[in-house]
DNA sequence: CTGGCTGCAAATTATTTGCATAATC
DNA sequence: GATTATGCAAATAATTTGCAGCCAG
């Protein structure tokens, strides 16, 4: 079977229309770019994809479109680092752990957070939507290679995120 | 006993000096402001405190100073929302949960995250420094009042963070 | 038609940086 | 007296917004 991307696209557009919004080629293109995009997509990255077929869709329109779909609950954005936000479809929610050394992004199933979720709710009355921000740390690879299951080629960041978390290594190190 | 703030201040300054840095009144003032500041302090908030006694310490100096101490491991910064970062001393590390409705910030002991920490390490080889980003959700108060321990006056945000997470309620609501 | 989109440019916000001068070690 | 810090202003970076025209419904 082909991906059900088309179905999801149409469903989102229908919802948009149902709420009084208008389906434009720009919006269709942005949503489509989001569906295609396997990696974590920043607004700018999406704009680039969109530009391939629709060169004059402005970046601000991409932001506005993402915002519109976010209002509809179709899209969510997450902060992986100090820089840009990344966007994905709401039905693909998961946690993110970003390696502060190499920038690799690891996707984590929500299930891992179940216990934390409960304890926060019970002990603090706080209900987390925990996916909004990424966790920061060191990935298996950067920890030294002897990590437990650390031989998979962990998801790599776009290469754009790489600098987000890395501050300058040391202050007065070089001669 | 009085707070050991003075001791901590001197210790940090000593470390700075030991690393070839210079102890200036600006740096002393910033660090001091950080020690005084009970609440979560943004660079701008710290600058304001500093300005009380040193009116011409520039905001950029505050940033540079915070950065310098961060290199020394004395200071850490955390992101509570979409906006500014907040700074605190490394020895006061804890997690933050921010209510996306009222902006309240709840401090959480690191212990809560122990299990998650282990599972991430075991299953994904990922070692979290999880405090870098806040968790987002709803505080007891905003959940409806019937929350478990939800009768304490949860820590309130500065009032500056309040807008950080709240996007516009709806798109086409107003005439 | 008509109000919701869009492109564009300009505004914001948070933070960083180049440079000449001032202060510390 | 040699560096390191500072103030200032100007540069970034990511995102937002005002406005006049365009387009879907």
- Whether B26 maps to a domain, the answer reads yes
- State whether B109 and B63 are in the same domain: no
Strand, coil or helix: A105: strand
In terms of Cβ atoms closer than 10 Å to its own Cβ (0-12, 13-18, 19+), residue A129 is middle
Mutate to test the interface with A, among B18, B100, B126, B171 (most CBs of A within 10 A): B126
Residue A28 has pLDDT above 70, yes or no: yes
Residue A7 has pLDDT above 90, yes or no: no
Residue A105 has pLDDT above 60, yes or no: yes
Which three-class secondary structure string do you get for chain A?
Answer: CCCCHHHHHHHHHHHHHHCCCCCCHHHHHHHHHHHHCCCCEEHHHHHHHHHHHCCCCCHHHHHHHHHHHHHCCCEEEEECCCCCEEEEEHHHCCEEEEECCCCCEEEECHHHHHHHHHHHHHHHCCEECHHHECEEEECHHHHCCCCCCCCCCCCCCCCCCHHHHCCCCCCCCCC
* Average pLDDT estimate for A97-110: 86
The angle that helices A5-18 and A59-71 make with each other, rounded to 10 degrees, is: 80
**What is the structure's pLDDT at B12?**
95
- State whether A78 and A108 are in the same domain: no
CATH code of residue B120: 3.30.1490.190
- Whether A172 maps to a domain, the answer reads no
pLDDT confidence band for A164 (50 / 70 / 90): very low
Residue A135, H or E segment: strand A135-138
- State whether B23 and B48 are in the same domain: yes
Contact call for A122 and B148, based on CB within 8 A: yes
CATH code of residue A55: 1.10.10.10
- State whether B126 and B149 are in the same domain: yes
Tens of pLDDT, residue by residue over A108-122, are: 888 888 888 999 999
Contact call for A126 and B136, based on CB within 8 A: no
- State whether B132 and B159 are in the same domain: yes
Task: Say how far apart CA A93 and CA A95 lie, in whole Å.
Answer: 7
Q: Is the CB of B168 under 7 A from strand C?
A: no
User: Which of B65, B90, B115 is the last residue in one of the domains?
Assistant: B90
- Whether B175 maps to a domain, the answer reads no
Residue nearest to nucleotide D23 (CA to C1'): A24
B115: domain range? Answer: 92-166
- Whether A119 maps to a domain, the answer reads yes
State which residues between 100 and 139 of chain A bring their CB within 7 Å of strand C.
Answer: none
DSSP secondary structure letter of residue B133: B
- Whether A171 maps to a domain, the answer reads no
pLDDT confidence band for A104 (50 / 70 / 90): confident
User: Which of A22, A57, A90 is the last residue in one of the domains?
Assistant: A90
A54 Cα to chain B: minimum distance (Å):
25
Residue B157 has pLDDT above 70, yes or no: no
- State whether A14 and A86 are in the same domain: yes
- State whether B110 and B151 are in the same domain: yes
- State whether B119 and B85 are in the same domain: no
B91 Cα to chain A: minimum distance (Å):
18
A141-150, B3-12, B69-78 — most confident range: B69-78
Of the candidates A95, A40, A34, which has an alpha carbon nearest to the alpha carbon of residue A66? A34
Strand, coil or helix: B97: strand
- State whether A83 and A44 are in the same domain: yes
Task: Answer for the pair A95, A131: CB distance below 8 angstroms, yes or no.
Answer: yes
Residue B168 has pLDDT above 60, yes or no: no
- Whether B128 maps to a domain, the answer reads yes
- State whether A134 and A124 are in the same domain: yes
Task: Say how far apart CA A86 and CA A83 lie, in whole Å.
Answer: 10
Strand, coil or helix: B54: coil
* Average pLDDT estimate for A106-135: 86
pLDDT confidence band for B53 (50 / 70 / 90): very high
Of the candidates A135, A146, A75, which has an alpha carbon nearest to the alpha carbon of residue A100? A135
- State whether A26 and A52 are in the same domain: yes
The total number of structural domains in chain A stands at 2
Residue B42 has pLDDT above 50, yes or no: yes
Mutate to test the interface with B, among A133, A144, A166, A173 (most CBs of B within 10 A): A133
- Whether A173 maps to a domain, the answer reads no
Residue A54, H or E segment: none
- State whether B49 and B83 are in the same domain: yes
Closest nucleotide to A19 by C1' from CA: C4
pLDDT confidence band for B72 (50 / 70 / 90): very high
B119: left (phi over 0), alpha (psi -120 to 50) or beta: alpha
State which residues between 47 and 66 of chain A bring their CB within 7 Å of strand C.
Answer: 54, 56-58, 60-61, 64-65
User: Which of A66, A90, A114 is the last residue in one of the domains?
Assistant: A90
State which residues between 14 and 53 of chain B bring their CB within 7 Å of strand C.
Answer: 17, 22-25, 42-44
Judged by average pLDDT, the poorest of A67-71, A74-78, A169-173 is A169-173
- Whether A38 maps to a domain, the answer reads yes
């Amino acid at each position: 079977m082909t991906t059900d991307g088309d179905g999801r696209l149409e469903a989102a557009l229908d919802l948009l229309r149902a709420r009084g919004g208008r389906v434009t080629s720009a919006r269709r293109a942005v949503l489509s770019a989001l569906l295609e995009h396997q990696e974590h997509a920043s607004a700018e990255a999406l704009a680039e994809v969109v530009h391939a077929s629709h060169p004059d869709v402005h970046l601000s329109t991409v932001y506005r479109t993402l915002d519109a779909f976010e209002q509809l609950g179709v899209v969510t954005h997450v902060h992986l680092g100090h820089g840009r936000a990344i966007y994905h479809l709401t039905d693909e929610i998961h946690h993110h752990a970003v390696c502060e050394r190499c920038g690799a992004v690891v996707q984590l199933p929500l299930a891992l957070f179940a216990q934390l979720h409960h304890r926060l709710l019970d002990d603090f009355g706080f209900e987390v939507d925990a996916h909004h921000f990424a966790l920061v740390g060191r990935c298996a690879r950067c920890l030294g290679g002897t990590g437990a299951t650390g031989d998979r080629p962990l998801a790599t960041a776009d290469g754009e995120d790489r600098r987000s978390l890395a501050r300058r290594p040391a202050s007065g190190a070089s001669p």
